[in-house]
């Protein structure tokens, strides 16, 4: 019976999560809405992250680089341009940055790619800081954009829905097959005619577009941004661990990870703000040592064991 | 002249920092991302010893060697070896060890933040000037330079003149073949992680002597050590010294003549350029 | 009849080590040519350069009228050259059918999805794996892995096939089957360059042979002549007992 239960969770979870995430914004109050916005924002980024890093096994820490670029695009252009143009500009800047970074990292092996993406985020933070201090003459800036939280939430949901739909299509497409082959064996991929370099760069850009757009959408939520907030490395680390926690092999895996960890982080950041980072570390260790493929496969494995035991008892 | 000593001290420190990392990564093929936080932890250790227990940093330096070695050894044997076994040292090891050492980094960082908070710490030790050829140099900087040089020399001799060093180099070049010569790559890796741990501990104590430090500097030290490792070429002790000095002097010069706010940007920019143009290292041999 | 593949003064060095030194030869359409030589003589390096795994340090490689020396692996596949690997490389987590489907999906003459089903079956049938279509590649025996690699190479619709010790490790009837299979490929119009140590297969299959020793070409000609060439015999003695 329990295995049936686990199976039901596995099949039903996506539906439950979508329902939970998509609760009409009008129905929920300010605090719940801010949590929901957070879940939606991390949902976009973790799904986009898993889209690239899942099949290619290139662990990217550039998430916050793209996100921050989006935030700053909105902060700079938001006052003077129509919102649609702002979002488009954010998406384009993210894609451009990703294509450049992607082309520079083609020859790098796994570990160096991680360091490169981390450095890229840090470099952007330093450059923006320097620019703001020396040219703008103030390290932070105020973002006065009148967008209601409920509106931000629906935009993020729209983005998430678009991303999931595209990710679903991608999985069934030729490109999706190419990605699985690249993840399995790069040499084979090259020798059956896949332009692995192109696929990798395109996919990196594709996932970056969603991260940057999420950053731009969320920007009006903060009235004040500075580089330390917009380019906080913690965001990259959180997105990474949420995606892995849920499991990157499944379309809805990252979302499950986001839904569970966002709430946990939310609770901890209020109750134990000083221990949050140590807790993040523990989750990293938990994932590596206890459930390397994420919580959903781990649950179904436990389910199988339980089912076997029940059979043995019967 | 003053600039030269500042550059030398910083360069020596960076070289020292990178040496432990290059040994660990070059031999065990595992990038220890918790490296930076260990450095900071050692600096806090020296701080507590000096300020609360009244132990001289020089004494702390001596104690830190075996302690760091033990911790490094334990890190490899307890946390990383299971991963090496599980992945059979395949490509998944890269990702797993990355996550594990990141996790460890956060746990220690969290613990340090909890105990010490996010402020900068420093204490005064040997900060009186010594005159060398008429130029005043803070005595602690001289200690930094001397310790860095001594350790470089020690490691260089250890690697190139001893039987154990030969075994280490054999594993570095080809772990599979080293086994045929009766060398156990895993024992050597654990040993090298221990040596790296000792270097970390010494670096941390030294940093506490002449720089204010805070928990948040851990990633900065990690990145600088990585930068030097990549520039110097993996596993090369002399490459470390050369690259470390280049970075130390470069930073001192940028800070003095251009803009101190740009030093970090220059660091990471340099890193990205090196990684994309010459991943095998500027001074490194091609593998 | 025309030149399918031509190497023109091709060299490759890794650091200071010269792996292939000034090698030239041509292969005509429909030929089966053996590339022989002791271990480490540079045979696999030649295949790697032709298939685009890496570029020659100097010299040119031509496919018909196209200079492919600077092309990357995936473009060379599109041109019409496919290869197998000395150390078998299949996608272990994929089934046999999926492995073949993967190779059909990324070239203009290929197929994807439902359109590919029939071709996958035909290709698996050609190599004798049709009954194992749904078996995971990681569960296959060594012989079957080799068959699967060949099916994958054929799925790329090549006109030139590079086989890197594809017959190694086969014996008795398996070897006879393998030889018959390669022979049947030639009748379908394929041009084949094979790196091989199995003398029985070389004698049975190859019209001509090219022999490398220590990175240099030391002999080329009809199989019988080449195998009795004293220089070839010397280069093999002690290093390979064929």
CA distances in angstroms from A107 to A200, B222, B225, B276, listed in the order given: 12, 23, 22, 8
Least confident of A178-182, B256-260, B279-283: B279-283
Tell me the C-alpha distance between A80 and A234, whole Å. 31
For residue range A64-75, what is the model confidence (pLDDT) as tens digits? 999 999 999 998
Residue bearing tokens 């523990």: A282
CATH code linked to domain C1-79+161-166+192-242: 3.40.50.300
pLDDT at residue A8, as a whole number: 52
Nearest-Cα residue of chain A relative to residue B262: A130
Distance from CA of A301 to the nearest CA of C (A): 19
Residue from the list B114, B223, B275 with its beta carbon closest to the beta carbon of A112: B275
Touching subunits for chain A (3+ Cβ pairs under 8 A): B, C
The answer to the question of residue B236 being in a domain is no
Chosen for mutation from C106, C113, C120 (greatest number of chain A CBs closer than 10 Å) is C106
Q: How confident is the model at residue B63 (pLDDT cuts 50, 70, 90)?
A: confident
pLDDT at residue C241, as a whole number: 46
pLDDT at residue C242, as a whole number: 42
Distance from CA of B253 to the nearest CA of A (A): 18
Q: How confident is the model at residue B121 (pLDDT cuts 50, 70, 90)?
A: confident
B139-145 contacts: CB < 8 A, separation 24 or more? B140/B209, B140/B210, B141/B5, B141/B6, B141/B8, B141/B9, B141/B210, B142/B5, B143/B58, B143/B206, B143/B209, B144/B9, B144/B12, B144/B13, B144/B206, B144/B209, B144/B210, B145/B5, B145/B8, B145/B9, B145/B12
How many Cβ atoms are within 10 Å of A173's Cβ, its own excluded?
Answer: 14
Q: How confident is the model at residue B278 (pLDDT cuts 50, 70, 90)?
A: low
| Contact yes or no for A190 and C107 at CB 8 A | no
Q: H/E element holding C162?
A: strand C160-164
Distance from CA of A181 to the nearest CA of C (A): 7
pLDDT surpasses 90 at B219: no
| Contact yes or no for C106 and A174 at CB 8 A | yes
Output the average pLDDT for chain C: 87
Q: How confident is the model at residue A289 (pLDDT cuts 50, 70, 90)?
A: confident
| Contact yes or no for A130 and B262 at CB 8 A | yes
| Cα dihedral A107, A113, A118, A123 in deg (nearest 10) | 0
What DSSP state is assigned to residue C54?
S
| Cα dihedral A178, A183, A189, A190 in deg (nearest 10) | 110
Tell me the C-alpha distance between A113 and A109, whole Å. 6
Closest CA to C103 of C150, C164, C51, C136: C150
pLDDT at residue B283, as a whole number: 54
Nearest-Cα residue of chain A relative to residue B269: A123
pLDDT at residue A16, as a whole number: 58
Output the average pLDDT for chain B: 81
Chosen for mutation from B104, B265, B279 (greatest number of chain A CBs closer than 10 Å) is B265
pLDDT surpasses 70 at B1: no
Question: Within an 8 Å CB–CB cutoff, is residue A201 touching chain C?
Answer: no
Residue from the list A184, A187, A194 with its beta carbon closest to the beta carbon of C106: A194
Residue bearing tokens 């090698």: C23
Query: Could you tell me the maximum CA-CA distance found in chain A, to the nearest angstrom?
Result: 75
The dihedral through the CA atoms of B51, B53, B58, B64 has a sign that is: negative
Touching subunits for chain B (3+ Cβ pairs under 8 A): A
pLDDT at residue B287, as a whole number: 35
| Contact yes or no for B114 and A275 at CB 8 A | yes
Domain that holds residue B31: 12-216
Residues of chain A whose beta carbon is less than 8 angstroms from a beta carbon of chain B are 57, 59, 104-105, 107-112, 114-116, 118-120, 122-123, 126-127, 129-130, 133-134, 233, 237, 244, 274-285, 287-289, 292
Residue from the list B96, B107, B259 with its beta carbon closest to the beta carbon of A278: B107
Distance from CA of A160 to the nearest CA of C (A): 28
Tell me the C-alpha distance between B236 and A175, whole Å. 41
pLDDT at residue A284, as a whole number: 85
Least confident of B90-99, C31-40, C77-86, C163-172: B90-99
pLDDT at residue B285, as a whole number: 45
- Within 8 A of A178 by CB-CB distance, chain C residues are 105-106
Distance from CA of A207 to the nearest CA of C (A): 23
Question: Within an 8 Å CB–CB cutoff, is residue A106 touching chain C?
Answer: no
pLDDT surpasses 70 at B213: yes
What DSSP state is assigned to residue A275?
G
pLDDT at residue C160, as a whole number: 93
| Contact yes or no for A130 and B104 at CB 8 A | no
- Within 8 A of A114 by CB-CB distance, chain B residues are 98
Least confident of A8-12, C106-110, C163-167: A8-12
| Contact yes or no for B109 and A281 at CB 8 A | yes
pLDDT at residue B164, as a whole number: 80
Least confident of A23-27, A94-98, A294-298: A23-27
Least confident of B74-83, B175-184, C73-82, C99-108: B175-184
The answer to the question of residue B3 being in a domain is no
Residue from the list A59, A108, A233 with its beta carbon closest to the beta carbon of B275: A108
A243-247 contacts: CB < 8 A, separation 24 or more? A243/A46, A243/A47, A243/A49, A243/A50, A243/A53, A243/A54, A244/A287, A244/A294, A244/B99, A245/A283, A245/A287, A245/A294, A245/A295, A246/A46, A246/A294, A246/A295, A246/A296, A247/A293, A247/A294, A247/A295, A247/A296, A247/A297
Distance from CA of A114 to the nearest CA of B (A): 9
For residue range B171-199, what is the model confidence (pLDDT) as tens digits? 777 777 777 677 777 888 888 889 999 99
Percent of chain A with pLDDT over 70: 85
The answer to the question of residue B286 being in a domain is no
- Within 8 A of B222 by CB-CB distance, chain A residues are none
pLDDT at residue C154, as a whole number: 92
pLDDT surpasses 90 at B232: no
Question: Within an 8 Å CB–CB cutoff, is residue C4 touching chain A?
Answer: no
pLDDT at residue C220, as a whole number: 86
Residue from the list A174, A181, A191 with its beta carbon closest to the beta carbon of C51: A191
pLDDT at residue A275, as a whole number: 79
Average pLDDT over residues C20-27: 90
Chosen for mutation from A172, A175, A193 (greatest number of chain C CBs closer than 10 Å) is A193
- Contact at 8 Å (CB) between B205 and B57? yes
Domain tally for chain B?
Answer: 1
Distance from CA of A174 to the nearest CA of B (A): 25
- Within 8 A of A54 by CB-CB distance, chain C residues are none
Please name the residues in contact with A219: beta carbons below 8 A apart, sequence gap of 6 or more: A70, A71, A74, A75, A78, A143, A145, A225
pLDDT at residue A41, as a whole number: 93
The fold of the A2-313 domain, in CATH, is ABC transporter involved in vitamin B12 uptake, BtuC (1.10.3470)
Average pLDDT over residues C142-159: 90
Domain residue extents for chain C: 1-79+161-166+192-242, 81-157
| Contact yes or no for C102 and A196 at CB 8 A | no
Q: Which residue has the higher pLDDT, A45 or A129?
A: A45
Q: What are phi and psi of C161, to 5 degrees?
A: -120, 130
Least confident of A109-113, C113-117, C219-223: A109-113
Q: How confident is the model at residue B252 (pLDDT cuts 50, 70, 90)?
A: confident
Beta bridge partners of C212: C217
- Within 8 A of A193 by CB-CB distance, chain C residues are 74, 77-78, 103, 106-107, 110, 156
Percent of chain C with pLDDT over 90: 24
Give burial (CB, 10 Å; 0-12/13-18/19+) of A175.
middle
How many Cβ atoms are within 10 Å of B22's Cβ, its own excluded?
Answer: 31
Average pLDDT over residues C29-43: 88
pLDDT surpasses 80 at C48: yes
pLDDT surpasses 90 at A162: yes
pLDDT surpasses 90 at A95: yes
| Contact yes or no for A115 and B226 at CB 8 A | yes
pLDDT at residue A11, as a whole number: 57
């Amino acid at each position: 019976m329990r295995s049936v239960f686990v199976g039901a969770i596995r099949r039903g979870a996506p539906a439950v999560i979508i329902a939970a995430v998509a609760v009409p914004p009008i129905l929920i109050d300010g605090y719940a809405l801010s949590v929901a916005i957070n879940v939606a924002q991390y949902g976009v980024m973790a799904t986009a992250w898993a889209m690239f890093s899942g099949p290619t096994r290139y662990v990217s820490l550039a998430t916050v680089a793209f996100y921050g670029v989006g935030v700053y695009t909105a902060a700079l252009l938001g006052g003077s341009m129509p919102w649609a143009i702002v979002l488009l500009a954010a998406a384009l800047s993210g894609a451009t940055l990703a294509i450049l970074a992607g082309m520079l990292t083609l020859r790098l092996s796994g570990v160096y790619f991680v360091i490169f993406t981390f450095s890229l985020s840090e470099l952007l933070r330093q450059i923006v800081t320097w620019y703001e201090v020396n040219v703008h003459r103030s390290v932070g800036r105020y973002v006065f954009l009148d967008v209601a939280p409920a509106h931000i939430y629906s935009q993020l949901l729209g983005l998430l829905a678009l991303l999931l739909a595209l990710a679903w299509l991608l999985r069934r497409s030729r490109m999706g097959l190419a990605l699985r082959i690249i993840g399995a064996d790069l040499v084979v991929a090259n020798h059956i005619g896949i332009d692995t370099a192109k696929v990798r760069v395109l996919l990196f850009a594709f996932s970056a577009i969603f991260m940057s757009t999420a950053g731009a959408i969320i920007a009006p939520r903060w009235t004040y941004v500075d580089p330390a907030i917009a380019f906080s490395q913690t965001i990259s680390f959180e997105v990474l661990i949420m995606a892995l926690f849920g499991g990157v092999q499944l379309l809805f895996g990252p979302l499950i990870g986001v839904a569970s960890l966002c709430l946990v982080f939310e609770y901890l950041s209020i109750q134990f703000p000083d221990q949050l980072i140590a807790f993040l570390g523990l989750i990293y260790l938990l994932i590596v040592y206890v459930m390397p493929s994420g919580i959903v496969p781990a649950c179904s494995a436990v389910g199988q064991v339980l089912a076997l035991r029940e059979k043995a008892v019967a | 002249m003053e600039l030269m000593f500042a550059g030398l001290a910083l360069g020596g420190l960076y070289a020292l920092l990178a040496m432990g990392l290059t040994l660990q990564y070059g031999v065990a093929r595992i990038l220890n991302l918790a490296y930076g936080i260990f450095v900071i932890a050692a600096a806090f250790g020296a701080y507590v010893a000096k300020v609360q227990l009244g132990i001289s940093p020089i004494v702390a330096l001596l104690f830190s060697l075996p302690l760091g070695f033990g911790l490094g050894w334990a890190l490899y044997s307890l946390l990383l070896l299971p991963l090496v076994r599980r992945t059979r040292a395949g490509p998944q090891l890269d990702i797993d060890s990355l996550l594990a050492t990141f996790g460890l980094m956060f746990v220690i960082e969290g613990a340090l933040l909890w105990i010490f908070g996010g402020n900068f710490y420093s204490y005064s030790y040997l900060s009186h000037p010594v005159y060398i050829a008429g130029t005043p140099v803070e005595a602690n900087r001289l200690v930094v330079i001397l310790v860095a040089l001594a350790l470089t020399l020690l490691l260089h001799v250890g690697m190139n003149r001893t039987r154990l060093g030969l075994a280490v180099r054999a594993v570095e070049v080809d772990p599979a073949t080293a086994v045929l010569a009766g060398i156990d790559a895993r024992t050597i890796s654990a040993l090298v992680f221990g040596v790296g741990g000792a270097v970390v501990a010494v670096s941390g104590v030294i940093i506490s002597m002449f720089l204010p430090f805070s928990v948040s500097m851990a990633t900065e030290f990690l990145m600088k050590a990585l930068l030097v490792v990549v520039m110097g070429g993996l596993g090369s002790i002399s490459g470390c010294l050369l690259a470390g000095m280049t970075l130390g002097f470069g930073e001192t010069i940028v800070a003095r003549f251009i803009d101190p706010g740009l030093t970090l940007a220059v660091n990471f920019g340099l890193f990205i350029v090196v990684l994309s143009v010459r991943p095998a290292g500027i001074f490194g041999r091609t593998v | 009849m025309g030149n399918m593949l031509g190497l023109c003064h091709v060299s490759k060095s890794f650091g200071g080590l010269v792996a292939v030194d000034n090698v030239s030869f041509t292969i005509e359409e429909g030929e089966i040519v053996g590339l022989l030589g002791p271990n480490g003589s540079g045979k696999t390096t030649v295949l790697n350069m032709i298939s685009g795994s890496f570029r020659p340090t100097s010299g040119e490689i031509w496919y018909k009228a196209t200079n492919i020396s600077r092309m990357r692996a995936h473009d060379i596949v599109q041109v019409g050259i496919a290869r197998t690997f000395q150390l078998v490389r299949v996608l272990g987590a994929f089934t046999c059918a999926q492995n073949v489907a993967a190779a059909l999906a990324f070239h203009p003459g290929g197929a994807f999805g439902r359109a590919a089903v029939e071709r996958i079956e035909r290709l698996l049938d050609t190599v004798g794996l049709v009954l194992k279509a749904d078996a995971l590649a990681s569960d296959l025996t060594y012989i079957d892995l080799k068959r699967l690699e060949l099916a994958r190479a054929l799925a790329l619709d090549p006109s030139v096939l590079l086989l890197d010790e594809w017959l190694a490790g086969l014996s008795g009837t398996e070897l006879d089957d393998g030889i018959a299979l390669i022979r049947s490929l030639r009748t379908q119009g394929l041009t084949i360059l094979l790196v091989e140590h199995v003398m029985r297969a070389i004698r049975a299959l190859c019209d001509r042979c090219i022999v490398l020793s220590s990175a240099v070409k030391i002999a080329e000609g009809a199989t019988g002549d080449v195998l009795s060439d004293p220089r070839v015999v010397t280069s093999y003695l002690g290093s390979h007992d064929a």
